[in-house]
Chains A and B, each alone.
Chain A
Amino acid sequence: MMAERRLSSREESLLEVQVEARLLRVKMVLLGSSGVGKSSLALRFSKDEFKASAPTIGCAYLTQVVCLHNARIRFEIWDTAGEEKYHSVTPLYYRGAHAALVVYDICKRESFARAQLWLKELEKQYFPGETVVGLVGNKADLSDGRKVSLQEGYRLAESKGLLFMETSAKSGQQISELLMTIAERVQKSTREDRGLVEWREVESVGLHQGERPHPLGTCCLVGP
């Protein structure tokens, strides 16, 4: 994500001024079995691309900025590895997260079962409302192979008061909707002062100089 192109120092300082006011950092973690499409979702979120991907090794960190009407949110996305050997380090990534997406593959029942385990684990960590938790049924483009119905996913999410969406990282279906919804909920939860989350304004964006405006519709270039 970083340093995709070189910015002149003038451009850089412009960017800094623009961003100064209200860039909020949101830590978001992606959880779920291996192969459900977490990395593919993360790539959609941050670059609006889809590519063949291999199982993640360890963890990947990507960022994306989205604009709401009164704030810009910088998503710091931790794309964890679904493989078992990395589970011992996963808590590091959901600890203190403002948002957590638990992802399953609508064509794999096992991944749905696994998602429920993840939700249980998250419940142990957080009081409801503190963290925005979303349940995501991915690979919605493969409706022929569907093993988990839309209702099932919906009911599970509803019973726990979670955000729910079916997406396709491949086709891009519901991706921007998902990200915007999370952004709004995260912002709302902090406004209502329910969150313990610590909001820090980014002191300098030097680190993220490669960032472009997100292709998502509501994103605006003009600073607040």
Chain B
Amino acid sequence: MEADVHNKSEALENDSLAPVDRLRRLRADSPTPGLVEGTEPGAGQDSAMFVHAQSFEDLTADGEQEEEVQEGGDGSERAPEVEKPRSEGEESEETQGQRGEQEREQAEEEEEEEVQSGGGRVKEEDVNSEAWRSHRKHVFVLSEAGKPIYSRYGTEEALSSTMGVMMALVSFVEAGKNIIRSIHAEGYKVVFLRKSPLVLVGVSRTRQSERELTRELLYIYYQIISLLTLTQLNHVFQIKQNYDLRRLLAGTEHLTDNLLRLLDRDPGLLLSAVTCLPLAGSLRDVISSSLQAAKAKSLVFSILLAGSRLVTLVRKKDQYLHHMDLHLLFNLVGSSSTFREGEGWTPVCLPKFNTAGFFHAHISYLEPASDLCLILVSTDLEDFFNLSDCKRRFLERLRRRSAYQALQEALQAPSYPVSQVGIPELRHFVYKSKSSGLYTSPEIPMPYQSEEEQERLMGLYKYLHSRMHHPTRPLRSIYRCAEKENLLALVTSGFELYLCFSPLGTKALAVSAINKLLKWIRKEEDRLFILSPQTY
């Protein structure tokens, strides 16, 4: 059945925190690219780079109670299979008594195709206007005393009555000893997440599940923690219950805005994974070892980014970074121009590592106009000059080994077009190796290049993702013919794969594409993934 893979894979992931030799052997021997975690294409050879997050469940685990997932048969090492469709043009997995829901989803899908204006923060927007109401996803943050803290659209002041209503709802239901989770009305989902001392509310017209929305709210919560630490947050509210937290968060609204944009667009946040700058393996190794050599006592993580792609990451032995913390760092760097001038030095809390304390991050671009940004995460507030020196040593080494120029060139080169894979009708895909926590994806092809279309494609992946990871009825594969494309998703204990075909693609084609794609990724894994992560 479909519900099977899920728990099995969890068990495996836990077992293989440090991939063992057996797995490495399997990886080499495996005739088809390994489906077992640790042997799949893109799996790291040595120690893992990240904390092993249960891709999705881990993130929601502390946001909501974990629901029981039924344990099924094994299924982890079987070849990928696709459930039989009832007919083309329908989803192929079994859904019992869900016709009504599906119809509603179809209706919502049409709504989604409306062109939405994306982009900049329109703070002064009239909160009574149609435009304000028509945003696809609103996010509000308030204190437990009902004080507005953040609103994605419109000013918090103008919304104070709306926030009042939400607070009333939350306290009303809590008084009855129920924790209010969500309200569904007229195509809207309203999701509440209570993380004392904050209350987060999402109001969405998208098809995203309640669970996914909750997870996004959790991201926003951690974004706030990363700026303040939970300790400080609790402290200010202990001293003054109706404290206006906007005072402390002033100047960071754009970080939250940008994170919400990433959540709408970036497959990495959906999959709890990061993507790498495609780079010859030998070059990446030179960069990694140069970064590793430029170490300092207080250093915990050294991260080299190219835009939103990872070039390499070196970590202190026994210290792992969580994807979510890395995404928060990406967001910090990506949403602010302030690190472009000079060297940045800022306290940052990595909430998945420790909600109580600050790390201190040295953030600087390798060159003023370059996309290459180095983040050095240290435990010592006073270690700035040491870290600055680490950067200098790193650069020196890169240059001495002529890697800097090569890296610059790789940066100029586009990523790869999907046509390189050579699968007809394939438009796009996202492949995540579970054991490395890395994913790869080709360039966004023509039909999806506009912001709206890119978000629509992501919306489709999100939908598939939520079906695959359904809390009570998880699936191992799903084939779906949507209006403008055909989609296939597959989850094994080793990887997650989402494929998007043109409407001309057939299901048989899609199924046969899987192995071909896995083989291609295996062939290219050296370039697309970080196979030998370093520690210092």
Query: Which residues of A are in contact with B by a Cβ distance under 8 Å?
Result: 1-4, 6, 34, 39, 42-43, 46-47, 51-63, 77, 79, 81-86, 89, 92, 206-207
Contact with A along B204-244 (1 / 0, CB 8 A): 00000000000000000000000110000000000000000
Question: How close is A4's CB to chain B, nearest CB, in angstroms?
Answer: 6
- B356: A residues at CB distance < 8 A: none
Q: Which of B227, B343, B368, B395 contacts A85 (CB 8 A)?
A: B227
Contact A57 B382 (CB under 8 A): no
Contact A207 B389 (CB under 8 A): yes
B243-278 interface with A by 8 A CB criterion = 247-252, 254
Contact A89 B347 (CB under 8 A): yes
- B367: A residues at CB distance < 8 A: 3-4
CB-CB nearest in chain A for B391: A2
- B348: A residues at CB distance < 8 A: 58
Given A4-B368, A34-B250, A206-B392, do A39 and B343 touch, yes or no (CB 8 Å)?
no
Given A2-B392, A3-B395, A92-B382, do A60 and B250 touch, yes or no (CB 8 Å)?
no
CB-CB nearest in chain A for B341: A43
Docked pose: A117 CA to B254 CA in angstroms: 28
Query: Which residues of B are in contact with A by a Cβ distance under 8 Å?
Result: 227-228, 247-252, 254, 332, 336-339, 341-348, 361, 364, 366-368, 381-382, 384, 388-389, 391-392, 395-396, 399, 404
Given A54-B337, A84-B247, do A1 and B342 touch, yes or no (CB 8 Å)?
yes
- A4: B residues at CB distance < 8 A: 367-368
Q: Which of B343, B395, B404 contacts A61 (CB 8 A)?
A: B343
Docked pose: A85 CA to B252 CA in angstroms: 10
Contact A83 B250 (CB under 8 A): yes
Docked pose: A89 CA to B382 CA in angstroms: 10
Question: How close is B397's CB to chain A, nearest CB, in angstroms?
Answer: 13
Docked pose: A55 CA to B250 CA in angstroms: 9
- A52: B residues at CB distance < 8 A: 337
Contact A60 B338 (CB under 8 A): yes
CB-CB nearest in chain A for B362: A61
Contact A57 B336 (CB under 8 A): yes
Docked pose: A55 CA to B254 CA in angstroms: 10
- B347: A residues at CB distance < 8 A: 58, 86, 89
Contact A1 B251 (CB under 8 A): no
- A85: B residues at CB distance < 8 A: 227-228, 248-250
Mind listing 30 A-B residue pairs with CB under 8 Å? A1-B343, A2-B364, A2-B391, A2-B392, A2-B395, A3-B367, A4-B368, A42-B342, A46-B342, A47-B341, A53-B338, A53-B341, A54-B251, A54-B337, A55-B252, A55-B338, A57-B332, A58-B361, A59-B346, A60-B339, A60-B341, A60-B343, A61-B342, A61-B344, A61-B345, A61-B384, A62-B341, A81-B251, A82-B251, A92-B381
- B384: A residues at CB distance < 8 A: 61
Docked pose: A60 CA to B368 CA in angstroms: 14
CB-CB nearest in chain B for A56: B338
- B388: A residues at CB distance < 8 A: 2, 61, 207
Question: How close is B235's CB to chain A, nearest CB, in angstroms?
Answer: 12
CB-CB nearest in chain B for A81: B251
Closest 4 interchain pairs by CB?
A58-B346, A55-B251, A62-B342, A83-B251
Docked pose: A1 CA to B396 CA in angstroms: 15
Contact A57 B249 (CB under 8 A): no
- B395: A residues at CB distance < 8 A: 2-3
Docked pose: A34 CA to B392 CA in angstroms: 31
